[in-house]
Amino acid sequence: MLPTPPTTDSHETGYLAADGFVDELVAELNDVRAVHDRLVLAAGGVQTAAWAQNVWIAPQRIPIASIADGARALRAKQRNWALYATAFHRRAALIEAKLPPFRPKPLAFPNPPPSAPIGSWTLLAPDVLLAAAHCTSPFRHGEAYFVEDRQAPPNRAYLKLWEALTRLGLHPQPQDRCIDLGASPGGWTWVLAELGASVIAVDKAPLDAGVSRHPRVEFRRQSAFAIDPRAIEPLDWMFCDVACYPRRLLDLVSRWIAAKAARRIVATVKFQGPTDLAIQREFSSIPGSTLQHLFHNKHELTWMWMRP
C-alpha cells in the first residue's frame, strides 16, 4: 500500500520542555493539544515559551508504510535529524539507523554553533511520524554541549554564561567594561576576563583567588543592591547571578535600565519555591528582552536585555 502524502498541520507547534519543567511549559502555553513526555503540542504558530528548550516549527504528521518508508520521508526533507522518542522506541531506532549519521560535536566557545538546520522527529504511532525540518535551537534538542575547561574556572557556572552568550550571538569584546553582580566564586567573571573584557566583580562572599588575581578583574566585596547605578560610569554589560528572589532582581534590573548604566544585561531569575509565572511575564514584557530556560539552568530562567 502506498503511504498517503504528507499533510502539513501548520496550526500546530511542538515545544520540547526543559528537563523537569513540563508543568511550567504547559502552564505558559495556550491551546495545548497533547503532551508526549517532554514534547508538548499546542495549536497555532510559535508562542513565546521560556520553558521550552527547543521549538519544533510547523511539524508535519507523515503516514508511513514501513521503516524504510519512514527513513525515506525524513531523508527527502533534509540531512540532520534528531530523534525524540516517546514511544515505539524500537521502531523509531530502526528508522533512525537508516538515516545519515548525525553526531553533533561539543562547541568550542566562543565559536558560533553550526548553522545547518537540525530537524526533530518522533513516532506518534507505529505508522505516523511527526517531523519538523526546522527547530529554533541550533543544538540537538536544545542541549548546548561545550568543549569544557576542567582546570581554569572555579566552578561549572561558566557553562551557563557560555550558553547565554552563544544564544545571544554576542559576547563582550576586548576593552568592553562589565560588571558581574553575585560573582563569587567567579565562573562568570573568568569567562568575561578570558574574553578580554575588564570586569568589576561584586559579591558579599570571596572571589576565587586565581580569578581575583586576573589583571582585568577588580573585586568589590559588598552587596550588589548597595550599588547605585546612577553613580557609576556607564558600562557595556551588566551580569547578575545573585541568589535572590525574582521580585528583588526585577527591581534591581529596572533601576539599572532606568539609569542607562549598561547597554546589555544578562541575569538569572532564580525561583525559590514554586515557579512564579506572573513575575516571569513581567520580565518578558520588558522591551528588548528575552527570557529562556537554558540547558545549563536549574530552577531558573536567563533574562537577556539589550537597550532597544
Ligand X SMILES: C[S@@+](CC[C@H](N)C(=O)[O-])C[C@H]1O[C@@H](n2cnc3c(N)ncnc32)[C@H](O)[C@@H]1O
Q: Which amino acid is at 297?
A: N
- If the CB atoms of residues 79 and 220 are measured against ligand X, the closer one turns out to be 220
Q: How far is the CB of 275 from ligand X (least distance, A)?
A: 18
Q: Which three cell numbers stand for residue 246?
A: 525574582
Residues 38-77 that bind ligand X (CB under 6 A): none
Position 157 contacts ligand X (CB under 6 A)? yes
DSSP letters for 235-252: EEEEEE-----HHHHHHH
**Cis-peptide into 185, omega within 30 deg:** yes
Residue among 187, 269, 291, 294 that touches ligand X (CB under 6 A): 187
Which region among 80-88, 196-204, 212-220, 291-299 touches ligand X (by CB under 6 A)? 196-204
d(CA 11, CA 206): 52
Residues 244-263 that bind ligand X (CB under 6 A): 244
Q: How far is the CB of 173 from ligand X (least distance, A)?
A: 20
d(CA 76, CA 66): 15
Say whether 221 sits in a helix, a strand or coil.
strand
Q: How far is the CB of 244 from ligand X (least distance, A)?
A: 6
Q: How far is the CB of 272 from ligand X (least distance, A)?
A: 12
- If the CB atoms of residues 133 and 294 are measured against ligand X, the closer one turns out to be 294
Which region among 50-58, 94-102, 203-211, 294-302 touches ligand X (by CB under 6 A)? 203-211
Position 224 contacts ligand X (CB under 6 A)? yes
Catalytic residues: 270
- If the CB atoms of residues 17 and 197 are measured against ligand X, the closer one turns out to be 197
Sheet of strand 12-17: strand arrangement: 32-36, 39-43, 12-17, 52-57, 134-135
DSSP state of 228: -
Q: Which three cell numbers stand for residue 218?
A: 577588580
d(CA 300, CA 292): 9
Q: Which residue has 572571589 as its cell numbers? A: 207
Position 203 contacts ligand X (CB under 6 A)? yes
Position 219 contacts ligand X (CB under 6 A)? no
Q: Which three cell numbers stand for residue 245?
A: 528572589
Angle at 287 between CA 15 and CA 292, to 5 degrees: 30
Position 163 contacts ligand X (CB under 6 A)? no
Q: How far is the CB of 184 from ligand X (least distance, A)?
A: 4
- Total site size for ligand X, rule CB under 6 A: 20
Q: How far is the CB of 118 from ligand X (least distance, A)?
A: 29
> Which residue's C-beta sits nearest to ligand X?
187
Angle at 13 between CA 8 and CA 19, to 5 degrees: 140
Residue among 52, 242, 252, 267 that touches ligand X (CB under 6 A): 242
Which region among 46-54, 92-100, 128-136, 199-207 touches ligand X (by CB under 6 A)? 199-207
Position 182 contacts ligand X (CB under 6 A)? yes
d(CA 206, CA 186): 9
Position 241 contacts ligand X (CB under 6 A)? yes
Strands 198-203 and 177-181: parallel
Position 186 contacts ligand X (CB under 6 A)? yes
Query: Which residues does 238 contact at the CB level (< 8 Å), separation at least 6?
Result: 178, 179, 181, 253, 256, 261, 262, 264, 265, 266, 267
Position 265 contacts ligand X (CB under 6 A)? no
Please give the residue ranges that form the binding site for ligand X (CB under 6 A): 155, 157, 182-188, 202-205, 223-225, 241-244
